């Protein structure tokens, strides 16, 4: 149903606003990422300038070596998760009309909910032209991460083949990377 090549139009036909527990539960433990142009819309909705909105209401989120912004997470006791700053139990999302795109495509109550979030991550976080992004995706897949049709490692075979030797990183620094990466013993010269 959903694959790496699915269009945004196709994805948007699969989703709809929903306030069920499965769809709102993620708001209690995190927030979705904004894509280009959305922060301005959310700021306008709240009557704020973009910079002020970014500073007071958003934080960075990095996946696959790509950084986007998301609504701040209200964490308690230094936990890595917490409630989205815009979520209220009785109201739901306070910026629903201008909520992040990732939130728009998240449908926890659908059988394809995990595929929607995986599609978002591939579409907006994975950068096949960035070696580190591909390297992190490769580790994600090899660690059991969800993979969509068209996004199997074989699809990126040509770009991935030189990642395992870390040549791109080794060239950028003047350290003994073989030793650092455990490819050469401490005693080896």
**Could you read off the pLDDT of 35-65 as tens digits, one per residue?**
999 999 999 999 999 999 999 999 999 999 9
**Could you read off the pLDDT of 109-129 as tens digits, one per residue?**
999 999 999 999 999 999 999
The pTM of the full predicted model, rounded to 2 decimals, is: 0.85
Residue 165: predicted pLDDT: 64
For the chain, the three-class secondary structure string (H helix, E strand, C coil) is: CCCCCCCHHHHHHHCCCCCCHHHHHHHHCCCCCCCCCHHHHHHHHCCCCHHHHHHHHEEEEEECCEEEEEECEEECCCCCCEEECCEECCCEECCHHHCCHHHHHCCCCCCCHHHHHHHHHHHHCCCCCCHHHHHHHHHHHHCCCCCCCCCCHHHHHHHHCCCCCCHHHHHHCCCCHHHHCCCCCCCCC
Residue 172: predicted pLDDT: 61
């Amino acid at each position: 149903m959903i694959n790496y090549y699915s269009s945004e139009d196709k994805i948007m036909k699969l989703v709809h606003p929903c306030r069920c527990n499965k769809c709102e539960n993620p708001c209690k433990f995190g927030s979705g990422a904004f894509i280009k142009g959305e922060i301005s819309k959310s700021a306008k909705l709240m009557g704020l300038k973009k910079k002020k909105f970014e500073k007071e209401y958003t934080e960075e989120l990095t996946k696959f070596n790509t950084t986007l912004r998301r609504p701040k997470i209200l964490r308690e006791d230094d936990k890595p998760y917490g409630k989205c700053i815009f979520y209220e139990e009785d109201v739901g999302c306070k910026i629903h009309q201008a909520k992040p795109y990732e939130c728009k495509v998240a449908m926890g109550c659908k059988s394809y909910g995990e595929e929607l979030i995986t599609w978002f991550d591939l579409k907006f976080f994975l950068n096949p032209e960035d070696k580190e992004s591909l390297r992190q995706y490769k580790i994600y897949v090899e660690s059991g991460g969800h993979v969509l049709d068209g996004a199997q490692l074989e699809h990126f075979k040509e770009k991935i083949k030189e990642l395992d030797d870390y040549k791109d990183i080794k060239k950028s620094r003047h350290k003994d990377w073989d030793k650092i990466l455990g490819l050469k013993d401490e005693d080896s010269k």
